[in-house]
Amino acid sequence: MSDRESDIRAPPATGDDGGGEVRYLSQSDLSVPTHQIVAPDGSYDERAVPDLDDEEFLDLYRWMVTDRVFSRRMVNIQRRGELGTFGSTRGQEASIIGSAFTLRPDDWLYVGRAWTPMFMRGASMKDMILFWRGIEEGQEAFAKHNSQIAISIGSHLPLVAGIAWGMHLDDADAVATAYLGDGATSTGAAHEGINLAGSLGLPALFFCQNNQYAISMPYERQSGANTIAQKALAYGIDAIRVDGQDVLAVYDAVQSARERVTEGEPVFVESVTYRLDAHTTSDDPTRYRSDEEVEHWEAHDPIERYRQFLKSEGLWSEIDHDAVVEEIDAEFDEALAAANEMEERAVSEMFTYLYDELPPELARQLAEFEDLLERRPEMYDYIEHRPKG
């Protein structure tokens, strides 16, 4: 929506003509820095530390632990057969929490592999359990906080661009944020969504968690691009590459990005992290990656690194880690109990919410089906006993 610099499209001016030689633009000429504040050994430059108060520093820790405990508990109940499937976020806590900590209630958030941001925005663990149980009340609850989870990889980027477009029309003091993974950057929808944001100057923030794998496909085989961050440049969008195991660096990067986005410039952030657990509980990562690789990343545990920082700052003594974990476990127990209390819903739910008004053919299908269920109650038994995948 920016005014054109000139209405005349002239052929390229003479000047920087390469001296008559063919010259390539090459990624090897790019220097892509990775923002880091706390080094893997826990050292840091005091001057680079973001301006947060003690309570905020401690909140970052609590949320990261929440993320880890939540993943652990969800994997456990899945193994007990109490969930369909689950995608653990272990290893990505700094990436997830550092970014979401910058968002405000009026911002919109569309995530892939990031569940705790929903809690940070006001949804409950119960809502997330419902989501993973395939109960629509989950997404309904997230929607109340301007948030959604995208399942079809990359498909949400055009939506986020559209939401940002709405904010732009409203002149809203808010940003539309898409969390995506490395895998999503290979999709056409991601390209078009990011390009639209760049071309119209929309308040969209793209936060890419490069956790190194699209299920089994390592990043280096997904693209010829050395980094994901550099891809943004082709859209005229500035990018930041950040150490996704360093919660303060992620916070700092995304905070800076968010500010810039509110000024009408979309920003792309690549957070370099690692998925320590399987893609989902249905996945066996030992088929495609080595134990050594996982151990290497386990040695770069984001929570451990932040703990070093808190110790250096003298804040660690403020935290009773075991009590924090106990509290989160109790919250999860309560959420699980509440989720288990959910009453069985009427089959009509499947039909009711598709349109504002139920069209005649759907009403007819619903009536036929309700009639069938009444005539053949063995349907319920069959569904209950059918072997589940």
Partner 1 sequence: MQATIVQAVNDALHTEMGRDDRVVVFGEDVAESGGVFRATDELLEEFGSKRVVDTPLSEIAIVGGAAGMAMYGYRPVAEIQFSGFLPPAFDQLVTNASRIRWRTRGELSAPMVVRMPYGAGVRALEHHSESLEGAYAHIPGLQVVVPSTPADTKGLLTAAIRDPDPVLFMEPKRIYRSIREEVPEGEHEVPIGEAAVRREGEDVTVVAWGSMMPPTLEAVEEGGVDAEVIDLRSISPMDTETVVESVKKTGRCVVAHEGPRTLGVGSEIVARINDEALMYLEAPIERVTGFDTPVPLLSMEDFYFPHPPRILDGIEAALAD
Based on CB atoms, which residue is closest to partner 1, 69 or 129? Answer: 129
Give the x-and-dash track for 189-208 against partner 1 (CB under 8 A). x--xx-xx--xx--------
Based on CB atoms, which residue is closest to partner 1, 114 or 197? Answer: 197
Residue 347 near residue 341 (C-beta atoms within 8 A): no
Residue 93 near residue 64 (C-beta atoms within 8 A): yes
- Tell me if 339 contacts partner 1 by CB under 8 A: no
Residue 272 near residue 242 (C-beta atoms within 8 A): yes
Region near partner 1 per CB under 8 A, out of 137-145, 209-217, 275-283, 299-307 = 137-145
- Tell me if 354 contacts partner 1 by CB under 8 A: yes
Q: What is the C-alpha to C-alpha distance for residues 329 and 188, in angstroms, rounded to an integer? A: 40
Q: What is the C-alpha to C-alpha distance for residues 376 and 360, in angstroms, rounded to an integer? A: 24
- Tell me if 137 contacts partner 1 by CB under 8 A: yes
Residue 100 near residue 120 (C-beta atoms within 8 A): yes
Q: With contacts defined by CB under 8 A, how many residues of the chain interact with partner 1?
A: 42
204-210 vs 267-272, strand pairing mode:
parallel
Based on CB atoms, which residue is closest to partner 1, 104 or 321? Answer: 104
Q: For 366, phi and psi rounded to 5 degrees?
A: -65, -45
- Tell me if 104 contacts partner 1 by CB under 8 A: no
For partner 1, which residue of 353, 372, 373, 376 counts as binding (CB under 8 A)? Answer: 353
Residue 296 is among the residues annotated as catalytic for this protein: no
Q: Cα angle vertex 127, ends 126, 132, to 5°? A: 95
Give me the catalytic one of 121, 145, 279, 305: 279
Q: How far is the CB of 42 from partner 1 (least distance, A)?
A: 41
Q: What is the C-alpha to C-alpha distance for residues 267 and 233, in angstroms, rounded to an integer? A: 10
What is the DSSP secondary structure assignment for residue 287, as one 8-state letter?
G
For partner 1, which residue of 162, 201, 264, 285 counts as binding (CB under 8 A)? Answer: 162
Give me the catalytic one of 23, 79, 104, 288: 288
The helix/strand/coil state of 63 is: helix
Based on CB atoms, which residue is closest to partner 1, 172 or 324? Answer: 172
- CB-based burial, 10-20: b 16+ in 10 Å, e otherwise: eeeeeeeeeee
Nearest to 94 by CA among 180, 49, 36, 149: 36
Nearest to 241 by CA among 253, 251, 252, 223: 253
Q: How far is the CB of 343 from partner 1 (least distance, A)?
A: 15
Residue 219 is among the residues annotated as catalytic for this protein: no
Based on CB atoms, which residue is closest to partner 1, 60 or 153? Answer: 153
Q: Whose structure tokens read 């976020």?
A: 89
Q: How far is the CB of 216 from partner 1 (least distance, A)?
A: 23
Based on CB atoms, which residue is closest to partner 1, 179 or 306? Answer: 179
- Tell me if 347 contacts partner 1 by CB under 8 A: no
Give the x-and-dash track for 57-96 against partner 1 (CB under 8 A). ----------------------------------------
Q: Whose structure tokens read 């661009």?
A: 161
- Tell me if 365 contacts partner 1 by CB under 8 A: no
Q: How far is the CB of 305 from partner 1 (least distance, A)?
A: 36
217-218 vs 213-214, strand pairing mode:
antiparallel
Residue 79 is among the residues annotated as catalytic for this protein: no
Region near partner 1 per CB under 8 A, out of 89-97, 256-264, 330-338, 355-363 = 355-363
Give me the catalytic one of 275, 300, 305, 307: 275
Task: Report long-range pairs for 284-292 (Cβ below 8 Å, ≥24 apart).
Answer: 285/213, 285/216, 287/216, 288/213, 288/216, 288/218, 289/213, 289/218
Based on CB atoms, which residue is closest to partner 1, 75 or 208? Answer: 208
Residues between 3 and 32 that touch partner 1 (CB under 8 A): none
- Tell me if 148 contacts partner 1 by CB under 8 A: yes
The residues, ordered by sequence, that sit 6+ positions from 260 with a Cβ below 8 Å of its Cβ are 238, 267
- Tell me if 164 contacts partner 1 by CB under 8 A: yes
Footprint of partner 1 (CB under 8 A): 1, 108, 136-137, 139-140, 142-144, 148, 152, 155-167, 169, 176, 188-189, 192-193, 195-196, 199-200, 353-356, 359-362
Q: Supply the residues annotated as catalytic.
A: 275, 279, 288
